[in-house]
Amino acid sequence: MSLPPEFLGRLALIEEALRRALAEGPAELVRMSRYVLGWEDADGRPSAGGGKRLRPLLCLEVAAAAGADPAQALPGAVAVELVHNFSLVHDDIQDGDALRHGRPTAWQVVGAPQAINLGNFLYTRGLRQLADSRLPGAPLALAILFEAVERMVAGQWADIAFEDAESVTEEDYLAMVEGKTGALLGAAAGIGAALAGAPRGTVDAFRAWGERLGLAFQVQDDYLGAWGDAAATGKSTSSDIARRKKTLPVVFALASDGSGDALRAIYRAAPAPEDDTAKVLELLETSGAREHTRALARRFSAEAEALLADIAIADDARDRLRTFARFIAERDR
């Protein structure tokens, strides 16, 4: 499922603004930022890659729905995308992941110490877009972003802590995901509304909607991490399993009568000498984790739709946001 064509125009706006934001600065940090954003390969040659720009698109779409020229929200869109990339660069170090979007991760290219610097640069450059914009909504947008990053960092802390935890409940898992993924998607939507000059109540309503959408997005991500097409997602299906990540399917299966004990035995043991992905997938399947994960993604998606229905915007604007939200929540890659 590709981005519906009506959103492509704004995608072009975003790419231009991102390139402007990274047009100058410390040479190596800018060069590696361009690599991470997907515009260049590791040797500086033009390439196509990088992410789907869902967060900046969400930001612009909300600004438009709130009645503003979406271009007005570009500093916020660029900020959330750079903050997102900052978190990816650091996450890949933390998780030891070698591939992202089918390309070597930043720390594989420059080493973990320099990749820490790169993440810090992307974060700072992102914040500057908002701070230097001098838009009337910028202080509120910055406050939303700072709060989101604190929650994102706390979520990432929990995610790492879960790897060694004996027992993680679905409630623990959902609290972690609200921070790790929900907070920044909520911020993207809230910032779009803030930069559009929407009243505070509308800003908060868009933020709550974006956060719920983020939950749907992450649960779907966990689904794809176990049952997705590795060629399409650009990461190995088994990497979540190999790293013993407590994803939703795993949390569910660990708590199940049928598969819990067997899965716990595997997850407790030292890393298996042979690849045990197939065995783990079989246990997930037997436990009903596959259906449960899909059902939860659908539930969060429906809850997001209900929140959207209550926001006071024009019907055609709402229809467009609903289409975009479905694309986010039901993607297959």
The nearer residue to its own copies, 99 or 153, going by C-beta atoms, is 153
Chosen residue from 11, 71, 99, 116 binding its own copies by CB under 8 A: 116
84 binds its own copies (CB under 8 A): no
* Residue 107: CB minimum distance to its own copies, A: 11
44 binds its own copies (CB under 8 A): no
**Which of 25, 60, 24, 31 has the alpha carbon at shortest distance from 45?**
31
109 binds its own copies (CB under 8 A): no
Chosen residue from 3, 13, 25, 172 binding its own copies by CB under 8 A: 25
Chosen residue from 57, 58, 73, 93 binding its own copies by CB under 8 A: 93
Chosen residue from 132, 275, 291, 319 binding its own copies by CB under 8 A: 132
319 binds its own copies (CB under 8 A): no
Number of residues that bind its own copies (CB under 8 A): 35
Angle at 318 between CA 210 and CA 193, to 5 degrees: 50
**Which of 161, 36, 190 has the alpha carbon at shortest distance from 107?**
36
The nearer residue to its own copies, 29 or 253, going by C-beta atoms, is 29
125 binds its own copies (CB under 8 A): yes
- φ, ψ dihedrals at 326, nearest 5°: -65, -40
Q: What is the DSSP string of 266-283?
A: HHHSSPPSS--HHHHHHH
Spatial distance between the Cα atoms of 44 and 31, rounded to a whole number of angstroms: 7
The nearer residue to its own copies, 142 or 198, going by C-beta atoms, is 142
* Residue 149: CB minimum distance to its own copies, A: 5
Q: Which residue has the tokens 């790419």?
A: 15
Spatial distance between the Cα atoms of 106 and 42, rounded to a whole number of angstroms: 9
Residue 91 neighbours by CB distance under 10 Å: 18
Q: Which residue has the tokens 């097409």?
A: 229
Chosen residue from 31, 41, 47, 120 binding its own copies by CB under 8 A: 120
Burial of 266 (0-12, 13-18, 19+ CB in 10 A): middle
160 binds its own copies (CB under 8 A): yes
* Strand pairing report for 99-100 and 103-104: antiparallel
Q: Which residue has the tokens 């898992």?
A: 173
* Residue 292: CB minimum distance to its own copies, A: 28
The nearer residue to its own copies, 26 or 102, going by C-beta atoms, is 26
Tokens of 229: 């097409």
Per-residue binder mask for its own copies (CB under 8 A), 208-247, x = binder: ----------------------------------------
Chosen residue from 36, 54, 58, 127 binding its own copies by CB under 8 A: 127
Side-chain-side CA neighbours of residue 227 (13 Å): 18
Spatial distance between the Cα atoms of 58 and 77, rounded to a whole number of angstroms: 8
The nearer residue to its own copies, 3 or 116, going by C-beta atoms, is 116
Chosen residue from 31, 52, 101, 128 binding its own copies by CB under 8 A: 128
Q: Are 220 and 101 in contact (CB under 8 A)?
A: no
What residues make contact with its own copies under the rule CB under 8 A? 25-26, 28-29, 90, 93-95, 112-114, 116-117, 120-121, 123-125, 127-128, 131-132, 139, 142-143, 146, 149-151, 153-154, 156-157, 160-161
